């Protein structure tokens, strides 16, 4: 049976790698997957090339001018504005949109009772209390694509107990490009150096988040939302080689880890094939050349964003939405030269200090929280 896949954010790092996995699987077993829908922000030429190759039924383009241009240059494809309109024509929806813009796809997919292959962590972090109940929609299934959460998902399959017998989740972090540097060293880092990730090639927002350890902090909240593990039982360990993707320590003292060379093709293929494993191998380890695997604690005082995320997660309600929105604004400010790298954490601290304590009861509340936090963050950025 052909699995119909919609790729939201098809022109990005996750989106293009999803297409590579599907190409490889279809080369091995023709007709395994059909890409029935795509969505993108504004990358006209790339999305046109993808339409030409994959012949989807529906393509969503967020940017109005780009949408008009794509519509004018294609035939036989329904062109729409809203990313969430890709859901109807697919069995599995890969959410590779970046940032809060991914919320509609996350919510719409779970509400439609379909499989969500979730790379867009921001939607789960911002809207955790609203997304949780949707996971019980008949047919709805959330399989994480983030490599750490995919690793945890695989490790947790080793227990059939209702509580999974978990003592601790251990998220690994590469440490990013600035591992080992002091706050003084980092006073004047350039955008170029923040984008030079040592082990992963990703989109710009998540790459900057990796440099500040905000990405790991957001992943702590993501792990809490996905697996219900209390924050005090989620730890972070720096592992510069990015071969151990995360670990679960069980109640009897055993630790189970998932290993592969760093590639997103593996977690994407896992989410597409689940509960089976795809037959195309990605990230196989050559143990004769692997060398050593190192582990060290994170530097929590230089990389303040990690503990900020723990704090926002523990506050709960809309605090993670506020943190995520503040971080998006600060990172955009850094990428456009308005904010120093060191000030990303300052912007997030200042925004969180003004959190109004709200608890979201629906998607509109989450959108409102995002907008309030964004406005506060934008004002702070303008004053930098
Ligand atoms: N990249 C990785 O290895 C990786 C690993 C783990 C998790 N993730 C997560 O996956 C998500 C995507 O990351 P990425 O690195 O793939 O980002 P990216 O390379 O920047 O790609 C983002 C995608 O989102 C699209 N997009 C942007 N704004 C949009 C909007 N308003 N509506 C619809 N689509 C929009 C972009 O379209 P345009 O190209 O047209 O702008 C692009 O297709 C993030 O949440 C990230 O944290 C990524």
Residue 384 has pLDDT above 90, yes or no: no
Pocket of ligand 1 (CB under 6 A): 9-15, 39-43, 62, 83, 96-98, 101, 119-122, 146, 200, 202-203, 205-206, 264
Query: What distance in Å separates the CA atoms of residue 301 and residue 296, rounded to the nearest whole number?
Result: 15
Q: pLDDT band for 271, please (50, 70, 90 cuts).
A: very high
Report the chain's terminal Cα–Cα distance, integer Å: 55
CA 97 / ligand 1 centre spacing (Å): 4
What's the pLDDT at 17? Answer: 98
What's the pLDDT at 163? Answer: 87
Ligand 1 site-directed mutation target among 69, 96, 209, 374, most atoms within 8 Å of CB: 96
Q: Over the stretch 4-40, which tens digit does the pLDDT of each residue have?
A: 999 999 999 999 999 999 999 999 999 999 999 999 9
Place of tokens 């601790």: 168
What CA–CA distances, in Å, run from 246 to 151, 156, 257? Answer: 6, 11, 6
CA 242 / ligand 1 centre spacing (Å): 21
pTM more than 0.75: yes
What's the pLDDT at 81? Answer: 97
Q: Over the stretch 119-142, which tens digit does the pLDDT of each residue have?
A: 999 999 999 999 999 999 999 999
The residue extents of the domains of the chain are 3-144
CA 1 / ligand 1 centre spacing (Å): 29
- Give the nearest ligand 1 atom to 215 CA: 47
Q: Over the stretch 137-168, which tens digit does the pLDDT of each residue have?
A: 999 999 999 999 999 999 999 999 988 999 99
Fold of the domain spanning 3-144? Rossmann fold (3.40.50)
In whole numbers, what is the pLDDT of the chain averaged over residues? 97
Q: Over the stretch 88-115, which tens digit does the pLDDT of each residue have?
A: 999 999 999 999 999 999 999 999 999 9
What's the pLDDT at 82? Answer: 94
Q: pLDDT band for 319, please (50, 70, 90 cuts).
A: very high
Sheet with strand 166-173: strands edge to edge? 234-238, 166-173, 244-250, 255-259
Residue 70 has pLDDT above 90, yes or no: yes
What's the pLDDT at 31? Answer: 97
Q: Is 237 helix (H, G, I), strand (E, B) or coil?
A: strand
Alpha helices in 86-213 (DSSP H): 103-111, 121-126, 128-134, 147-156, 191-194, 204-212
Contact (Cβ atoms closer than 8 angstroms) between residue 165 and residue 250: yes
Ligand 1 site-directed mutation target among 7, 10, 11, 14, most atoms within 8 Å of CB: 14
For residue 318, which of 357, 284, 292 has the smallest C-alpha distance? 357
């Amino acid at each position: 049976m052909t699995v119909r896949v919609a790729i939201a954010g098809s022109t990005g790092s996750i989106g293009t790698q999803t297409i590579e996995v599907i190409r490889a699987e279809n080369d091995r077993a023709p007709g395994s997957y059909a890409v029935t829908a795509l969505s993108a922000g504004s990358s006209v030429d790339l999305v046109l090339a993808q339409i030409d190759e994959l012949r989807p039924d529906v393509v969503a383009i967020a940017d109005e001018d780009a949408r008009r241009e794509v519509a004018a240059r294609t035939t036989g494809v329904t062109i729409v504005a809203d990313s969430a309109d890709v859901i109807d024509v697919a069995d599995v929806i890969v959410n590779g949109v970046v940032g809060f813009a991914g919320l509609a796809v996350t919510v719409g997919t779970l509400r439609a009772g379909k499989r969500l292959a979730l790379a867009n962590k921001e939607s789960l972090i911002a809207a955790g209390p609203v997304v949780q109940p949707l996971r019980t929609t008949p047919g709805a299934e959330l399989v994480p694509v983030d490599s750490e959460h995919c690793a945890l998902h695989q490790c947790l399959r080793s227990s059939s107990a209702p509580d999974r017998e978990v003592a601790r989740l251990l998220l690994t972090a590469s440490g990013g490009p600035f591992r080992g540097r002091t706050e003084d060293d980092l006073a004047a880092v350039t955008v170029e150096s923040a984008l030079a990730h040592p082990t992963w090639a990703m989109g710009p927002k998540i790459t900057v988040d990796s440099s500040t350890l905000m990405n790991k902090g957001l992943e702590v909240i993501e792990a809490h939302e996905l697996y219900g593990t209390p924050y005090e039982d989620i730890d972070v360990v720096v592992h510069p080689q990015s071969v151990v993707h995360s670990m679960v320590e069980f109640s009897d003292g055993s630790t189970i880890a998932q290993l592969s060379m760093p590639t997103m093709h593996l977690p994407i293929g896992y989410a597409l094939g689940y509960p089976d494993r795809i037959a195309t191998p990605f990230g196989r380890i050559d143990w004769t050349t692997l060398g050593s695997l190192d582990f060290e604690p994170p530097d929590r005082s230089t990389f303040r964003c990690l503990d900020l995320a723990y704090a926002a997660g523990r506050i709960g309600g809309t605090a993670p939405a506020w943190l995520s929105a503040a971080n998006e604004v600060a990172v955009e400010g850094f990428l456009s030269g308005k904010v120093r790298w060191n000030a990303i954490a300052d912007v997030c601290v200042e925004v969180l200090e003004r959190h109004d304590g709200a608890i979201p009861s629906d998607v509109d509340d989450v959108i409102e929280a995002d907008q309030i936090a964004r406005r506060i963050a934008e004002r702070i950025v303008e004053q930098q």
